[in-house]
Amino acid sequence: MLEGLSSGAGTALCQPRMGRLSCTQDNVQRPGSQDHSAVKGVIMQPAITSAIVVAYAQCPRKAYLLLFSPEQGTPHEYVRILERQRRAHQARYLNGLQHTHADVHPYTVEHLHHGRTVLLHACLQADGLAAECDVLTRVERSSLAGTPRYTPTLCVGTYSVSTEQKLALAFAGYVLGYLQHTSPLAGRIIALDGTPHTVKLDPRAPDLLPRLEPLRAWTRGAVPAPPPIILNKHCPLCPFQRACRAQAEQEDNLSLLDGVTARVMRQYEKKGIFTVKQLSYLFKPRKQKKGSRKPPPVLHKVELQALAIRDNKIYLHELPAIARQPVELFVDMEGVPDRGRYYLIGLLVCQADTMEHYAFWAETDHEEGHMWQQFVEKVQQYPEAPLYHYGSYEPRAVVTLAKGYHTDAESVRKRLVNVHRCLYGKVYFPVHSRGLKAIGHFIGARWTSPQASGLQSLVWRHQWEDTQESTYRDLLETYNREDCHALKLLTDELSRIQQSADTLATVDFADQRKRQTTATSEQIQSQFRAILKFAHFDYDKKKIHFRQAMEKETKEKRVERNRNNAYKLQKKLQAIQRRATRSLHIPKRDTCHVCGSPCIQLPETELQRAIIDITPTKNGIKKSIIKYVSEQSYCPLCKKVYAPSTQDALKGNQFYGHGFKAWVIYQRVALRLPYNSIVESLQEQFNEKINVSSIPNFIQSMAGYYAETEKTLTASLLQSPCVHADETKISIKKTHWYIWVFTDGKRVLFRLTETREPTFVHDLLLKFCKICRTQGEAATTERQRKQSTI
């Protein structure tokens, strides 16, 4: 089983040659040579090679370490194998070119400008860039500048062409464009089987330039700080994997979790989340929306994965659904993705208490069909048995093999059961990865080889093809058998969770946590819950309740409800107007405030507004309802309609006057009555019923009204010869505030602050000091004037 392996990974470009390169184009010094000071007086800079560009596309930290780190790490054995294959393939291909072409020369700048037909081993250097190209082939048509035009060719050690190899070819074409003053339109990649692949090269290089710009910024300035560690799918092939992995585990890095990419990490870092433990506290159970018939999509939640690691528990979003059968088959396939070939199919047959493993082996590509036929025949001996596998590799292999060898494998495909799908987004094991190896180690599965992995299996297969030693075949079959046993163990664990999740101490539910209680304590708690339920004073009203099913509010009903509310408001206004004690007429506007022309009165535009107010009398206070009557005016030039002159009593959509609000605020501020008591007093004394929420609105309105008064009071206070200040702490709803008091003996100013910081006090007293200084200077000047007069 291959996990996290790209078919095109591990090309020859994975091994960079470190070196220094001058910025001059004529310097043809090969990167990696020891003479870094061939050109005197020229500051040498790190060369950006094809390997650096490819490494940056895979991981910016890898490119940084290749550029600046003295320790280049240890490459994976699979990378070394691909490099050896590339070199052997390159030698064969170049040898063939020398026999088929007459004008073949090694690469030099002179041969490039002279227009030789074929140039070998080209080391292209320009503008701090160094690209290696196996072959440069001259195009018959020359460029506009007269310089011969060439097409780059690369030899790779794989049978298929990867994205990284195309990027390396684009980089070679980009550097070649500097030397021949025009970018090549296409390049070629020669696969390991000799098949040429033509790749179009965009002169704008949209995939290349965004990666070159940060690399150039690194090399042209001081050595920058290393990029953050972000583990990804390229890590198994990286020579710095061990160091990065150790540092990531030490930092509890977010990228340790599957599914956390660089973009996801940036989103969490904006929220202040940098570690897996911090991420675990973000998980919140979410309930399905009421009335939603469609179940939510199954998604993997990294927050819950982090919580499982923190608590070392298995968390369930929902129970896994696996239907077990008396006879079950567990399959695991091994292949070479680069070739699209398969060489080993492992089948574990489990029935009753017996388990038997079958290994179907193909020594060469030609025996692949025989291996496939043996596997199909064996599976068809158990027509009712499900075929368990892990991941998407096996279904693709079944489809590919059935199509390639014209086999009717529809019955086999329908019996496939993906165990990974049974736990994805549903079961969260306390491990960082969702791979079979990580989960298998947690549930007790073991592998004989400590390096066992899908990538290592490719190394063993290659070593077996080179040596034909049975040791490597035994390693592959053992690894395959242990994968099948791990899959069987995982399936059994999911079935155990499915049946006994409520009783397992290591299993918990994500949406509703289990309470670890005994039967006796649960019985006592249920009795207490019943007592609390019956202890409510309105229990008799709630124990029997009939309610008709409420229909969803339609648009017509909503419009009707709004119309009824407007009608009720209009009736209330009319009732207030009928109770008005006196009427006042507001004069209309005579002139337009825009153009100054006289306004005309609009007929039948009388406006009325009734204001409820509280006015003082000789012996007390009384309620009054004043009806204001006004008419609208119209400006013929501006063509605008004006309301009457604005008064404070008529601003906004209000019913209560200034005196009414002042009485309410007096009850609240001076007498310190609660809101409900104020509402009751209004009802009893003035027969006016208001909402409790209106009182804060009154306070806010009056605060704005007296804002100018506060400014005048502050200005007068600062004109005084002395100012006394003090502060005291108060508690409002268990929150501490501070009240500051300033007085000169006649006037008092209060300020409320959240903290004891005297910043605003300093600003206020600074103004006071400036005023005192100005007054003192004025007094001194006046005194001197009088003395001079005398």
Q: Are 19 and 32 in contact (CB under 8 A)?
A: yes
Residue 743 has φ and ψ, to the nearest 5°, of: -150, 150
Q: Are 50 and 171 in contact (CB under 8 A)?
A: yes
Q: Give the number of other Cβ atoms within 10 Å of residue 738's Cβ.
A: 16
Q: For residue 515, what are the CA distances in angstroms to 310, 426, 505?
A: 18, 20, 10
Residue 129 β-bridge partners: 48, 126
d(CA 744, CA 675): 33
d(CA 662, CA 677): 16
Sign of dihedral through CA atoms 654, 658, 663, 668?
positive
- The per-residue pLDDT for 176 is 93
d(CA 507, CA 47): 54
Which pair of structure tokens corresponds to residue 406?
């014209």
Q: Are strands 20-21 and 45-46 parallel, antiparallel or unpaired?
A: antiparallel
**What are the residue ranges of CATH 3.30.720 in the chain?**
709-775
Residue 727 gets the label, from left (phi > 0), alpha (psi -120 to 50) or beta, of: beta
**What are the residue ranges of CATH 3.30.420 in the chain?**
327-509
Angle at which helix 436-443 crosses helix 470-500, to 10 degrees, equals 70
Angle at the Cα of 465 (from 459 to 469), degrees rounded to 5? Answer: 95
Tell me which CATH code domain 327-509 carries. Answer: 3.30.420
**What are the residue ranges of CATH 3.90.320 in the chain?**
12-220
- The per-residue pLDDT for 620 is 83
Rg over alpha carbons for the chain, rounded to the nearest Å, is 43
The burial class, CB within 10 Å (0-12 / 13-18 / 19+), for 658 is middle
d(CA 281, CA 283): 6
- The per-residue pLDDT for 71 is 87
The burial class, CB within 10 Å (0-12 / 13-18 / 19+), for 416 is middle
Q: Are 638 and 592 in contact (CB under 8 A)?
A: yes
Contact residues for 232 (Cβ-Cβ < 8 A; gap 6+): 58, 59, 255, 261
Enumerate residue ranges in the chain where pLDDT < 50.
1-43, 143, 545-552, 646, 648-649
pTM of the predicted structure, to 2 decimals: 0.63
Sign of dihedral through CA atoms 197, 200, 201, 207?
negative
Topology classification of domain 709-775: 3.30.720
Angle at which helix 707-718 crosses helix 694-705, to 10 degrees, equals 50
d(CA 315, CA 302): 12
- The per-residue pLDDT for 639 is 66
Which pair of structure tokens corresponds to residue 518?
């005994």
Q: Looking at domain 12-220, which CATH architecture does it have?
A: Alpha-Beta Complex (3.90)
